[in-house]
């Protein structure tokens, strides 16, 4: 299959209208989209990514009026979060309606919905005119793509089109919040932080990932799959000054390590935001240059640091 690479949202949207799948930028990471109502197109996403069929997709909308096309009723807590954080890097788990094919939600009766803020994403979604379901546009198990080149590296020849834009601003996937109970539960941390959510709904909680996931259906099925992992071994480092690099090591963090000259690749970020934005591209760059061990500095688990530490732990421990 030939993969068309274009900067034009309207050209990319034409592929969606023809039942094809298209990678597109958002402020978090690049997504791989299909028309939510086209079950055949939705199935193509799972094939192209090699994604397990039990991992549900997120629906992307550009206008609140699209909510009623895919959901059946908005719980009160969800309405508050929509008002406070849409458009933005927040996905809400809502009851789905019968028009959404079960392939999109892996058989669940809920659907994750997000309204991106990035202007190019919004132009694309508007041109598509239907809600677009999309997971991150990486091969399953690889780090999410934050550049169009990363999408091309994983999916060239497997998808019809890449809508090409800049490196994504946030660099980590959206916050996922379950709204089916009395209080919001964070299933995946992201750039809309626990602190942000708590200002609107003080009872907001973080889901506890049970070690015994076989016993219960996990609330967020995607979280049981291996994620975010480069090929290199990831080692978390509390004290950069004490790292003794081995052969072909790399380092990313806020503070410089002592033996900086001994690392093959090094990235010092000015704050947690920049660390988050750079992380997945750094992982991919390390893999491309054959780095064997990546040392990542641990950060405080507050604000965006909670999401960053979640991704770092998944990369280090699977
Ligand atoms: O920032 C993002 O969220 C990006 C961009 C493209 O929007 N998308 C993304 O999609 O990261 P994906 O498929 O890689 O991650 C979606 C996560 C998975 O952990 C999935 O299990 C969870 O959201 N999820 C989706 N629908 C759900 C549902 N109905 N119930 C519970 N969890 C759900
Ligand atoms: Mg993903």
- And the tokens for 207? 């889901």
Q: Looking at ligand 1, which residue's alpha carbon is closest to its atom 29?
A: 111
- Asked if residue 71 has its Cβ within 6 Å of ligand 1, the reply is no
Residue appearing with tokens 């998944």: 314
Query: For residue 232, which of 279, 314, 293, 288 has the smallest C-alpha distance?
Result: 293
pTM: 0.95
| Burial track 125-154 (b if 16+ CB lie within 10 A, e otherwise) | bebbebbbbbbbbbbbebbbbbbbebbbbb
| pLDDT in 10s for each residue of the chain, 318 residues | 999 999 999 999 999 999 999 999 999 999 999 999 999 999 999 999 999 999 999 999 999 999 999 999 999 999 999 999 999 999 999 999 999 999 999 999 999 999 999 999 999 999 999 999 999 999 998 999 999 999 999 999 999 999 999 999 999 999 999 998 999 999 999 999 999 999 999 999 999 764 443 333 445 666 555 566 899 999 999 988 888 887 899 999 999 998 888 999 999 999 999 999 999 999 999 999 999 999 999 999 999 999 999 999 999 987
Give the Å distance between the CA of 254 and the centre of ligand 1.
Answer: 28
Cα separation values, 63 from 86, 101, 117, 125, 195, Å: 10, 21, 11, 9, 26
Query: For residue 163, which of 130, 129, 128, 190 has the smallest C-alpha distance?
Result: 128
Any idea which ligand is nearest the CA of 223? Answer: 1
Q: d(Cα 30, Cα 27) in Å, to the nearest integer?
A: 8
- And the tokens for 161? 């089109």
Burial class of residue 161 in the structure, from the number of CB atoms within 10 Å of its CB (0-12 exposed, 13-18 middle, 19+ buried)? buried
- Of ligand 1's atoms, which has the minimum distance to the CA of residue 60? 7
Dihedral sign of CA atoms 179, 220, 92, 190 in order: positive
Q: d(Cα 196, Cα 76) in Å, to the nearest integer?
A: 18
- And the tokens for 100? 């959404």
Q: Looking at ligand 1, which residue's alpha carbon is closest to its atom 12?
A: 135
Any idea which ligand is nearest the CA of 59? Answer: 1
């Amino acid at each position: 299959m030939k993969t068309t690479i274009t900067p034009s949202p309207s050209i990319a949207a034409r592929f969606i209208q023809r039942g094809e799948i298209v990678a597109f930028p958002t402020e978090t990471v690049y997504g791989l989209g299909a028309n939510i109502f086209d079950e055949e197109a939705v199935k193509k996403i799972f094939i192209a990514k090699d994604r397990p069929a039990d991992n549900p997709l997120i629906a992307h909308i550009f206008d609140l009026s699209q909510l009623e096309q895919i959901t059946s009723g908005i719980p009160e807590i969800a309405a508050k979060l929509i008002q406070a954080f849409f458009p933005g890097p927040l996905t809400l788990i809502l009851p789905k309606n019968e028009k959404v094919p079960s392939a999109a939600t892996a058989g669940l009766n809920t659907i994750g919905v997000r309204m991106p803020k990035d202007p190019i994403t919004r132009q694309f979604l508007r041109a598509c005119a239907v809600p677009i379901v999309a997971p991150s546009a990486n091969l399953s198990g690889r780090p999410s793509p934050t550049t169009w080149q990363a999408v091309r590296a994983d999916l060239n020849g497997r998808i019809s089109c890449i809508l090409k834009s800049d490196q994504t601003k946030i660099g980590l996937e959206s916050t996922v919040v379950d709204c089916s109970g009395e209080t919001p539960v964070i299933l995946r941390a992201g750039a809309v932080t626990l602190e942000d959510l708590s200002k609107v709904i003080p009872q907001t909680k973080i889901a506890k990932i049970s070690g015994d996931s076989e016993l219960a259906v996990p609330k967020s099925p995607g979280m049981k799959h291996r994620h975010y992992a480069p090929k290199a071994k990831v080692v978390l480092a509390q004290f950069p000054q004490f790292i003794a690099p081995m052969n072909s090591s790399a380092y990313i963090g806020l503070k410089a390590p002592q033996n900086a000259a001994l690392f093959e690749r090094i990235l010092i970020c000015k704050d947690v935001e920049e660390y988050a934005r750079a992380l997945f591209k750094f992982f991919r760059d390390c893999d491309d240059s054959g780095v064997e061990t990546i040392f990542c500095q641990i950060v405080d688990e507050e604000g965006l640091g909670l999401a960053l530490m979640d991704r770092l732990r998944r990369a280090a421990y699977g």
